[in-house]
Amino acid sequence: MAKSLHNLLPQEVLSLAIAVETRNAERYDTFAHIFGSYNDEATALLQEMRDEELEHKTVLEAMYLNRFGDKVCDIDESDVDEVVEAVDVDSAEHLIFNDLTKRDVLEAALRAEEGAREFYISLSESEQDEELLQLYRRLAAYEEGHVAGIKARINQIGTEKGA
Amino acid sequence: MIRDTDKMQLRVIQPEVYPPPDRTDLFKKFPWLSKLAKMRAYPNVLVIPNLVMFWIFLLAGIFGSPAGNRNIMIVFIWILWWFGLITVLVPLGSRSWCTMCPLPFFGDLVQRRAVTYVRKGNSAGTRNQLFGKLRVWPKKLSNIWLQNIGFLCLASFSAHLVTRPMATVLMLGGLIVIATITGYLYRQRVFCNYICPVGGFLSLYSMTSTVELRSRDKNVCKKCTSKACVAGSDKGWGCPWIIYMGKLERNNYCGMCTECVKSCPSDNISLFWRPFCSDKILKGYDEIWKAFIMLVLAMAYSIVLLGPFGKIKDWANIGEVGNYKGFAIYVSILWFAALIALPAVYYVAIRLGRGFASKGLEATGDGAAPSMKDLFIRYGYTLVPLGLMAWIAFSFPLMMVSGSYIISIISDPLGRGWNLFGTGEFPWTPFHPDWMAYIQIPCLMFGLFYSLKCGHELALDLWKDNRRAVTSIIPLAILLTLVTIAFLRMYTG
Ligand code: SF4
Ligand code: SF4
Ligand code: SF4
């Protein structure tokens, strides 16, 4: 049975954060596959976002190794009730109208990263032991960095034609 | 980008928690339905018998009587099928006709090289193996304008189509050829999404339907990494209508083929029963023009086929009467009314409403009024319930007056004087024509009621203030009421 994030141990939380990045990379990959050849720019961006998620994963893995060594902790998104961060397009009909843009992709990424940040912030304000709270704060700060990065990219393409 | 309307406003009247309490999960209530939908043989168990019927009708059209009321093709397609489609299948079954429609069968066959078997692979953005050229449909045509124009063209010749079997043979034969060629050249159901003239109005009126296919738990969809509903899997083909079920919010483009039900790895898709007119979001000019066209055609058909205007009937009936000048006048009026006159009157109503409702808005600091573009497209939905019910009101007399042909034609499908089941001599017997008004008036009033109700909900959503919302739709409500009165006058004399 799935459990709540509130009941996880610090090691499980970090392990889950790694799994979330992996799954998001998979989701980007799936969307890139689905939208491939409809819109090359949007597809290339989806692939880029996939690679970024894999980079995030590597950073989190280093964090995990530093803290918990090589002790394996098997936990995945499906083991918890909540959705931490899941990138998703905003419309069921993008393929029909062939209207997915780079901006749509970045906005989808932003929603996911903001969701994750809010999630970790809310957890860091809950009643937990200090070690876990520290971890949540670090994860929230980490996601904040991603949010800022994506916002900057959205601003950058804001004036691009057809974005 | 969500087409022509403001992205932020589209969510508001969609339920946030899914399924909301007013939905009933039919797959849970009737597990056999879920089993049926997951069978690989479904929906071909419906399509193939339909295809056989379709060929029989085509042959009857070619070799049978050229008189429409003595040919099974005309009687079954333009009376029985049309009546069943508009009065039952669309309002109660959404695009369930598309589930069993034989037209795309050969196009699918060319693409899949299989009838029930699913091929795993990696083509055209899916996890299936597909064949043919698999091109992407041009972006400029990725809308329903072709369907709008196609339907208007067919409608212009409707009087000819419903009386001449050969004309219907050519039309249906042509559609099946186009569906097969586009199936070979382009990926998935390009024909259904962008070309099929029937698909256009099914798409519009399926929004009112009391059933929907949706994912049960949106969080499961968010977490899903395979997106097998749209990408396909070894269990099912990627959605032929290229819909992503994880975000599906309206029925318009779901052909209810149940491939996603089969391929979803989380068994997260179900058929829901829901209130009438649950989808209320039109998203583009192509969609709202579809609503204009359908409403004008409902009126035009009522005038030509049911009304007392002999001259107009003659103009429309080019095949039999051959009055080319009259026909040109009829077609010009039809196209002008559908593409320009009704949209213009509607625009004025929206503009007036916006003007009234936004008085003093800046002074009170309540923010800006919704844009004309948003209002024009969003309020367009008010034409949908009324349009559907006008079509239903039009179709009842058709069935009641000419339905008795069905009984005789079963025994004599080609109009050759056969009497296969002993009903060949059944006389033409109109069924209680005196009851018609009692059916048509409630139909139209029901449509008007829903149009106004939905209009109010849409207005509230846009204006966030009841007084302004009501004020903004008053001119539109007057227009809709006048249209209803025009229909009532037409039907009740
Ligand atoms: S869209 Fe047209 S061709 Fe396609 S399934 Fe529906 S009715 Fe048939
Ligand atoms: S495959 Fe199923 S769970 Fe995944 S997105 Fe589609 S409907 Fe949702
Ligand atoms: S979403 Fe697509 S695959 Fe699912 S039933 Fe509708 S048309 Fe078929």
Q: Which amino acid residue places its CA nearest to atom 4 of ligand 3?
A: B260
Which ligand is nearest to the Cα of residue B104, counting in written order? Answer: 1
Q: How far is the CA of A93 from the centre of ligand 3 (A)?
A: 12
Q: Which residue of B has its CA nearest to A26?
A: B225
As a whole number, mean pLDDT of residues B32-44 equals: 97
Task: Say what the pLDDT of residue B10 is.
Answer: 35
Which residue of B127, B253, B258, B279 sits with most ligand 3 atoms within 8 Å of its CB, as the best mutation to test the pocket? B258
Gap from B365 CA to chain A (nearest CA, Å): 28
What's the whole-number mean pLDDT along residues B256-271? 97
Asked if residue A55 has pLDDT above 70, the reply is yes
Q: Report the residue among B97, B106, B241, B242 best suited for mutation to probe ligand 1: largest number of ligand atoms under 8 A from its CB.
A: B97
Of residues B3 and B452, more confidence is placed in B452
Torsion of CA B243, B245, B247, B250, to 10 degrees: 70
Report chain A residues whose CB lies below 8 A from the CB of B142: 96-99
Q: pLDDT exceeding 90 applies to what percent of chain A?
A: 47
Residue B44: per-residue pLDDT:
96
Q: What average pLDDT score do residues B430-452 get?
A: 94
Q: Does A67 touch chain B (CB under 8 A)?
A: no
Q: In the predicted model, what is the mean pLDDT of residues A75-100?
A: 91
Give yes or no for residue B54 having a pLDDT over 60: yes
What is the average per-residue pLDDT within A38-66?
91
pLDDT tens track for A110-120: 999 998 898 88
pLDDT tops 90 at residue A88? yes
Where is pLDDT greater, at B320 or A67?
A67
pLDDT at B320 over 80: no
Q: pLDDT tens digits, residue range B159-187?
A: 889 889 999 999 999 999 999 999 999 99
pLDDT digit string (tens) for B371-394?
Answer: 999 999 999 999 999 999 999 999
Which carries the bigger pLDDT value, residue B323 or residue B336?
B336
Dump pLDDT digits (tens) for B182-225: 999 999 999 999 999 999 999 999 999 999 999 999 989 999 99
Report the separation in Å between the CA atom of B195 and the middle of ligand 1, taken as the mean of its atom positions: 9
Least confident of A149-163, B135-149, B157-171, B291-305: A149-163
Query: Rounded to whole angstroms, how far apart are CA atoms A79 and A75?
Result: 6
Q: Mean pLDDT check: name the lowest of A69-73, B229-233, B275-279, B444-448.
A: A69-73
What's the average model confidence in pLDDT over B231-252?
97
Res B30 pLDDT > 50: yes
Instruction: Assign B15 a pLDDT band (cuts: 50, 70, 90).
Output: very low
B89 CA to centre of ligand 1 in angstroms: 13
Query: Who wins on pLDDT, B408 or B314?
Result: B408
Look at residue B234 and tell me whether its pLDDT is greater than 80. Answer: yes
Atom 8 in ligand 2: residue holding the nearest Cα:
B221
What's the pLDDT tens digit per position in B73-115? 999 999 999 999 999 999 999 999 999 999 999 999 999 999 9
Question: Would the CB of B241 count as within 6 Å of ligand 3?
Answer: yes
The mean pLDDT value of chain B amounts to: 92
CATH of domain A9-157: 1.20.1260.10
Predicted confidence at residue B74, as pLDDT, reads 94
**Pick from A80-84, B258-262, B385-389, B477-481: least confident:** A80-84
Q: What is the pLDDT of residues A124-150, one digit of tens each?
A: 887 767 877 888 888 889 889 989 999
pLDDT band for position B8 (50/70/90)?
very low
Determine if ligand 2 sits within 6 Å of the CB of residue B203. Answer: no
Query: Distance (Å) from the C-alpha of residue B287 to the closest C-alpha of chain A?
Result: 12
- What is the CA(B215)–ligand 3 centre distance, in A? 11
Instruction: Report ipTM for this prediction.
Output: 0.91
Confidence of residue B68 (pLDDT cuts 50, 70, 90): confident
What digits encode the pLDDT tens for the residues B142-163? 999 999 999 999 999 988 898 8
CA distance B248 to chain A (A): 5
Ligand 2: does its nearest atom lie under 6 Å from the Cβ of B231? Answer: no
pLDDT value, residue B14: 45
**Per-residue confidence (pLDDT) for residue B308, from 0 to 100:** 76
Domain residue ranges in chain A: 9-157
3-state secondary structure chain B: CCCCCCHHHHCCCCCCCCCCCCCEEHHHHCHHHHHHHHCCCCCHHHHHHHHHHHHHHHHHHHHCCCCHHHCHHHHHHHHHHHHHHHHHHHHHHCCHHHHHCCCCHHHHHHHHCCCCCCCECCCCCCCECCCCCCECCCHHHCCCHHHHHHHHHHHHCHHHHCCCHHHHHHHHHHHHHHHHHHHHHECCCHHHHHHCHHHHHHHHHHHHCCEEEEECCHHHHHHCCCCHHHHCCCCCCCCCCCCCHHHCCCCCCCCCCCHHHHHCCCCCEEEEECCCCCCCCCCCHHHHHHHHHHHHHHHHHHHHHHCCCHHHHHHHCHHHHCCHHHHHHHHHHHHHHHHHHHHHHHHHHHHHHHHHHCCCHHHHCCCCCCCHHHHHHHHHHHHHHHHHHHHHHHHHHHHHHHCHHHHHHHHCCCCCCCCCCCCCCCCCCCCCHHHHHHHHHHHHHHHHHHHHHHHHHHHHHHHCCHHHHHHHHHHHHHHHHHHHHHHHHHHHC
pLDDT of amino acid B216: 93
Chain B residue with CA closest to A84: the answer is: B223
Confidence band (pLDDT; 50, 70, 90) for A11? Answer: confident
Q: Compute CA distances A18 → A23, A74, A105, A137, whole Å.
A: 9, 11, 22, 16
Range in A29-43, A60-74, B39-53, B56-70 with the lowest mean pLDDT: A60-74
Interface contacts A/B by beta carbons within 8 Å: 84
* pLDDT surpassing 50 at residue B12: no
Q: In which band, very low, low, confident or very high, does the pLDDT at A71 lie, cut at 50, 70 and 90?
A: confident
